[in-house]
Amino acid sequence: MKELEVAGAPEFNVTTEPSVKVKLPQLSIPKFSGNLQDWVIFKDTFLSLVGDSTTIPNIQKFHYLLSAINGDAKRVIQHIPVSEQGSRVAW
């Protein structure tokens, strides 16, 4: 730990923790088959990893969505064209 003196107030010391960089494992998008019991977990995870990103284009988000679903869920949206508009419709 390092102690830093705050300018203008030498009687106060601020303690800083050393920064530790930990390499975390890559997160994967869960699969969703259409089972409503799994929807909330899938939705929250998908949105936090992909859907809420401002750096991923909508069409790419649609590709991620298509790769993360199967079964009934895939059958429901398989007819939607892969496009910016289709991404919004599918979600």
The model's confidence at residue 20, banded by pLDDT at 50, 70 and 90, is confident
Cα 61 off chain centre by: 11
How many of the other CB atoms lie within 10 Å of CB of 28? Answer: 9
Quick one: which of 56, 29, 57 has its CA closest to 45?
Answer: 29
- Residue extents of the structural domains in the chain: 25-90
Question: pTM here?
Answer: 0.71
DSSP assignment letter at 54: S
Q: What is the pLDDT of residues 23-40, one digit of tens each?
A: 989 889 999 999 999 999
